[in-house]
Structure 1
Amino acid sequence: MSSVDPCSRPVRKVFTHRAGGVSAAPYDSFNLGDHVGDDPEAVRANRARLAAVLGLEPGQLVWMEQLHTNRISVVEEAQETPVAATDGIVTTQRGLALCVMVADCVPVLLSDHEAGVIAAVHAGRPGARNGIVKNAIECMCQLGARPEDVHALLGPAASGENYEVPEALAADVEQHLPGSRCTTRRGTPGLDIRAGLVHQLAHMGVRAIDVDPRCTIADHQFFSYRREKTTGRQVGVVWLPE
């Protein structure tokens, strides 16, 4: 067991899974997505529970209207509504908890605690292919971060073993995000988006990269769109404590 007090850490990064909430099937139970057809009251209750567990107020959670773009938005204050049409949010403000919703896409949490800059990124296949994580790092650097001081944490997502795609699509993503093309356990063309992002981050000079290897398709403790279609969303959250 580590002797480091978690409360002393300069940046907090958290990933949720599907257990511990109030949503009914097929969103059972800790669904945090408000755009997937779940009861809005259940989603609000789950988000309030998330904030309470993290020691935050619900108003401190910043959400995105995720559309698989490569757009990054800088957030400077709490938002009553999701940040419109964006798939990455960056802030220097302490106490703002940046949230990214996923159900197979890669949640990427970035921080440079020396510069006081953090980011949450929704790296689905289209966004990752089109440079969403690269854009996030560049935006962070404009606010004072340095790639060599950035820590990147990639959360549970579809693994290359289970993410089967047509050959043409695998080749196209590999061209734009080298390191992503792979072969699935069935011997078919696949994509390992996390592997491609690790390659991209390292190429940009990011040295501290951690990857949660769990596969959302194979592991039923996570929501998975590819496995279930109609399902909930888990989240990644990053914040600078006040």
Structure 2
Amino acid sequence: MFWWQTQAGDGLMVAFTNTTAGNLALHVGDHPGQVLLRRAALEKRMQVPAGSLRFMNQVHSADVATVDTADGLGPGSPSAVPTADALVSADGSSPLAVMVADCVPVLLAGRGPGGVVTAAAHAGRRGLLDGVLANTVATMRSAGATGLRAWIGPAVCGACYEVPEAMLADAKARLPVLASRTRWDTPALDLPAGAEAELTALDVQVIRLPGCTLESDDLYSHRRSSAAGRFAGVIWRR
């Protein structure tokens, strides 16, 4: 079920699922009941309360939502799934999830007044360039987080993410480290490198995991198949 996982201290767990966990997204044409069963199985594997794992309606924005178990939002509440591309738990009480299938999943943690502040961010091309990671870090720090760490999960790599020349030129002008070339020597973007550079510039310690979604059959890739499901990055406290 987990492609990678680690214990990060203070009871903190960080993990990324693979295709054996199944599609975890409700927006890709899968049967909703089956998706919810898979999410329940993931929560059981994480050893967190049923219905406590917080997802978001990801729209390639730079918006950040703050969620906590104390906010009174049950899993069936219409407000329980905010429209945003990053979630922050100011006291680390809420298990957080980010879903991807080529975009960059980023999980973050820092020491806070309540012990730990956690976050999960969806950094696609648009969100990365518009500042979703900077906004996430700012929200965490406004909650008192210090000593921030980030785990960059598997995404489409810079040798596979082919883009039009104009898109490369625009991205390069805004974040030069994004510029790349495919293995077949066409314009490309290196989103994981861009995420790492952004976080490093924000004084965040970065752990960047290897793995390309397009090249790995055990990870979902929208570029490999437009019908692909979504795997998840998850961060939680036991």
Which of 174, 177, 181 in structure 1 is aligned with 2:175? Answer: 177
Q: TM-score of the superposition, structure 1-length normalised?
A: 0.88
Q: TM-score of the superposition, structure 2-length normalised?
A: 0.89
Q: How does 1:46-57 map to 2 (within 5 A)?
A: 46-57=38-49
Cα deviation, residue 203, structure 1: 1.1
Conserved? CA contact 1:108–1:123, under 8 Å: yes
- 1:24 corresponds in structure 2 to none
Cα deviation, residue 127, structure 1: 0.4
What residue ranges of structure 1 are gaps of 5+ in the alignment?
21-29
Say whether residues 1:156 and 2:148 are aligned partners: no
Distance of 1:215 and 1:9 partners within structure 2: 30
- 2:3 corresponds in structure 1 to none
Conserved? CA contact 1:130–1:176, under 8 Å: no
Code of the residue aligned with 1:203 in structure 2: it is A
Q: How does 1:1-242 map to 2 (within 5 A)?
A: 6=7, 9-20=10-21, 30-77=22-69, 78-80=73-75, 81=78, 82-115=80-113, 116-146=116-146, 149-206=147-204, 208-241=205-238
Moved over 6 A (4+): none
What residue ranges of structure 2 are gaps of 5+ in the alignment?
1-5
Higher strand share: 2
CA 1:42–1:9: 2 relative to 1, 3 Å: same
Percent of counterpart pairs with the same letter? 37
Conserved? CA contact 1:128–1:177, under 8 Å: no
Structure 2 counterpart SS, 1:59: coil
Distance of 1:230 and 1:46 partners within structure 2: 18
Residue deviations 1:15-54, cap 9 Å, x none? 001114xxxxxxxxx1100111101111011001100111
